[in-house]
Structure 1
Amino acid sequence: MLKVKPFCCLLIPFYEMQVLCVINCPSIQQTARPVNECPKSEVAWKEAAARMNCEHIMQNCSQQRQYEYHCALNIFLNESWELCSIMKYMLGYCMEYNEEGKRIQNNYHRKCLDLNPPCPTRYKSTETYKYQSCYKKVKENDLLSSKLSETTLRLDNTTSSTNDKNHNGEMQSDWIIVVMSSIVIFGTLAVVGYIIWRKKLNRLKKMRILYH
């Protein structure tokens, strides 16, 4: 159980304060520990929170922001971790614990609306026990395959989009050629017609002069 001395940082010299702050104000990563599974009910969540005693842990010695109990899968979705962290709002995705980043965050490989049952598009990170579909573990190889499939799908969509653009560009080029050819043909016919009309007009004028 982790406890804090509230006024420790005010009663000691600055150089000693830094040492005690590391002990009494641990980081998220220092509080994190793997567990077999995350709580499946509000009662179990509160019991786990009581054991962790997160409300007595300070974020740092100059800023008192309250820690709360959290439990989430890691980024590989194959381990459960409980830890103390500041509450955040998850926005449309399940929550995950990023050990390297030392934070809880949205898991963009698990969209709430794609789950059965789904989780809300906005919910508190301290209430994830309500959405057990977010705690379904997967094998690391399965996650890698899923990521590769998503990447392949994106590449296919990009290629398809490029091909469509090229096809549309070719169609536009064909139409331009047809239009320009039509303009040249009609222009040529107009000139030829005008020349013929002028010749006929000149002949008529000569004939009138002769008869007069």
Structure 2
Amino acid sequence: MKMQSGKGSQDILMYFVIYLILHGKVGIIDADTCKASKPTQTTVHSCPHTSSELQKAKEEKDCESIATLQNCSKPEEFVYHCLPSTKKDKLYEVCAPAIYSLGYCIGYDDLNQNVQILFKDSCTASSCLQRFSSADVLKYAYCQQLLRNVEKSDLTSPQSPPRGHVGTSWVCNPGHDQSTVIILICFLLFLVFTIVIGIIWRKRILESK
């Protein structure tokens, strides 16, 4: 009976570890964090609503001036965004790597300093493309309405730098953050893989007795 109980516990542990791997719960660091975006993020009253406003905002933010210095993405992918926070309580203008959405609106996570898909806000019913760049999210009416809902509050931060002003403190050690993240993630995956193999090996030994 004791062996049977131990075997059941091992099965539960093995399935739990496999669940963690499949659902990505073993990671403790967001690999998509982009520290280059942090000094460019500013809270604003509103986002551009016309093509001319958008062009003016892009010129003022001048993401191109640091696109070749950052190491979060290819230079051409490090572009202007104006997005609601993932909590939908602020609007951010920020230079960040563009991502592709499969029919959902886009938000900016100021804690992790990255652009994220808002999976609760599908916009395909209101003419969003099935796949579009986060840099183009302002084109879609449903996502623009999300912005307008946030615009109703005056949330501009007095500590935010003016448009066009970006810092470069993160440039001092290019590549360090990403390489550290990759090493830690690989270590965690190796550790979990070793645990799973150990559990399976032990289970087979017990079953052969």
Q: Please report the TM-score for the alignment, with normalisation by the length of structure 1.
A: 0.47
Which of the pair has the greater relative contact order for Cα pairs under 8 Å at 6+ separation? 2
Larger helix fraction of residues:
1
Which structure: larger Rg?
Answer: 1
Q: Please report the TM-score for the alignment, with normalisation by the length of structure 2.
A: 0.48
